[in-house]
Amino acid sequence: MILYPAIDLKDGQCVRLLHGEMDKATVFGDDPAAQAMKFQAAGCEWIHLVDLNGAFAGQPVNAAAVEAILARVTVPCQLGGGIRDMATISMWLEKGLARVILGTVAVENPGLVRAAARAFPGKVAVGIDARGGRVATKGWAEETDVLVTDLAKSFEDAGVAAIIYTDILRDGAMKGPNIAATEALARAVTIPVIASGGVSSLDDLVALRDTGVIAGAISGRALYDGAIDLGRAIAALA
């Protein structure tokens, strides 16, 4: 199971939100590229990036910070937030991003996800963010009646590289991930599932890995707070 350290970008800074609420942001640093270098030095295989302002604006906002990260690290990076058309997808992949994450458009324009996955094999992931099993969009500000498993299954034949599943109520709360829901989703589809939200200890990571069906886990706050030592966690998961 791959551990993805997270860099969430708001106004050019590294932050973590509580439950995805922009007014509950803790700033962890004002040099995202330096943070990415630290993660790379600790031995990570991937870095997970989120343009939080972009998720609300519907277009890239923290592009300068993302480009600075891409210029300085050699490990592959994936990015979500504000990527809602083919031009933006192409732009990011041309700039050296290894994978784009499509969230809101996966609900509102599933045809775009399919077209992008065909055009860029292995480089398109779907981000599914949920409260109580139902999908939320637009930076988690809008709730839908779409069920997580239904949305995930609808992309089974689309060729997407991964599904990033976030339990919003666990995100940033340091209360542990929703292992049962994540495992159930991973068993319901053949697409690799990456767990996100609430991953706050090495025990959480081991529990996710031990399901045998979860391909990756994203952690942010726990790495900044020191609750998870990235180097030790990577060694333990290996």
| Catalytic residue check, 129 | yes
Q: How far does CA 129 lie from the centroid of its chain?
A: 10
| Contact status, residue 32 vs residue 12, Cβ threshold 8 Å | yes
User: At a CB cut-off of 8 Å and minimum separation 6, what does 200 contact?
Assistant: 174, 175, 176, 219, 221, 222, 227, 228
- Name the active-site residue from 129, 167, 171, 204: 129
The pair of three-digit structure tokens given for residue 203, joined into one six-digit string: 């025990």
Distance of alpha carbon 71 from alpha carbon 236, whole angstroms: 29
Distance of alpha carbon 40 from alpha carbon 230, whole angstroms: 10
Distance of alpha carbon 3 from alpha carbon 205, whole angstroms: 8
Angle at 126 between CA 10 and CA 152, to 5 degrees: 135
| Contact status, residue 56 vs residue 67, Cβ threshold 8 Å | no
Strands (E), 33-183: 47-51, 77-80, 99-102, 124-131, 134-137, 142-147, 162-167
- Name the active-site residue from 8, 51, 167, 204: 8
**Phi-psi region at 204: left, alpha or beta (left = phi > 0; alpha = psi -120 to 50):** alpha
Distance of alpha carbon 135 from alpha carbon 148, whole angstroms: 6
The residues that are catalytic are 8, 129
